[in-house]
Amino acid sequence: MRPPFLVDLTVEAGEWPPEEELAAIVARAAEATVAETGVLPPDGCELGIIFTDDNEIAVLNAEWRGKEKPTNVLSFPSGMPSPVGQLPLLLGDIVLAFKTITAEAALDGKSFEHHLTHLIVHGILHLLGHDHEHEDEAEDMEALERRVLARLAISDPYD
Any domain includes 44: yes
Would residue 12 count as lying in a domain? yes
User: Does residue 134 lie within any of the structural domains?
Assistant: yes
The reply to whether 159 falls in a domain is: no
pLDDT digits (tens, 9 = 90+) for 90-143: 789 999 999 999 999 999 999 999 999 999 999 999 888 887 776 777 788 899
Please check the confidence at residue 2 and state whether its pLDDT lies above 70.
no
For residue 143, is it within any domain? Answer: yes
- Any domain includes 16: yes
What gap in Å lies between CA 31 and CA 132, rounded to an integer? 22
**91 in a structural domain:** yes
What's the pLDDT tens digit per position in 25-74?
A: 999 999 999 889 888 787 888 899 999 999 999 999 898 888 989 899 99
Closest C-alpha among 46, 34, 45 to residue 144: 34
Q: Is residue 65 part of a domain?
A: yes
In sequence order, what E strands does the chain have? 6-11, 46-52, 73-77, 90-97
Domain count, the chain: 1
Q: What is the pTM of this model?
A: 0.91
Position 118 scores a pLDDT of 97
Residue ranges making up the domain that contains 117: 6-151
Q: What is the pLDDT of residue 39?
A: 84
Burial class (CB in 10 A: 0-12, 13-18, 19+), 4: buried
**103: domain CATH number?**
3.40.390.30
